[in-house]
Each structure stands twice: as structure tokens, then as C-alpha cells.
Homo-oligomer: A and B are copies of this chain.
Amino acid sequence: MGEPTLAEWEAKNEIAFQRIQELLRVLSKSKMLHVLYALGMGKGGLRFSELKKSSLADSTTLTRRLTELEEIGMIARKELSTTPPAVEYHFTESYDILKPILEGLLHYGLEGVNTQS
């Protein structure tokens, strides 16, 4: 019996398993991946309006996602003392976790997998 690899792994790594489940749950929220993706494509921070445009998210939803991302420490807010005042969002170091995700997606978009005609 060298079969039940997955179940075994889960049992022995229950903590990791739960962390992942939770992250997965957060990432599953509507527009979450879109926001992250937009942020990943931008160079060094994007403003609210830019994120709104790129993620195609409603103001309300965008605010929600941004708040959640801040709460899990994935992004940080930075108020700019420009005229007019603006706000920039950028990744924290935790971004390293998401980097491969975003790169994978970008790759997908550019390559063209042709799953249909």
C-alpha cells in the first residue's frame, strides 16, 4: 500500500492544509484574482481608479477586495501627497507567493492555448 498519498499528506500536514484552504477561499472571491492580476501587471503601485478600470470591478467590490487583501497583509496602501491627493496600492513581500500565479496567468493569456476553435 503505497497508494493513499494525498490523504496521508493531508493528515500529516493539516496545518498547512488549512492555511491553504483559507487562502483559497479568499482568492475565490469575485474580482479578487482580477485585482491581484492588475496589481501584478502594474509597475510599483496602482491607484484606485486604475485598479477599478483594469479589474472591471465596481467601486464597492473593489473596496471590499482591497480591504481583505490589506487584512491578510498581501498589499499595502500608500497615500500620496500629490495634487490632487491620490492613493497607491502595492504588494508587500507576501507578493512572492502570488508571483508565480500571476506569471502563469500572463503566460496563459499570451500563449493562447486553443482549447476551442
* Chain A contact residues, CB within 8 Å of chain B: 5-7, 9-10, 13, 16-17, 19-21, 23-24, 27-34, 37-38, 41-43, 46, 50, 53-54, 56, 72-74, 94, 97-101, 103-110, 112-113, 115-116
Contacts and interface: CB of A to CB of B under 8 A. Distances in A.
A28 B34 CA distance: 9
A109 B46 contact: no
Given A6-B38, A6-B42, A33-B27, A94 B110 contact: no
Nearest to A54: B6
A20 B108 contact: yes
Contacts of A105: 20, 23-24, 97, 101
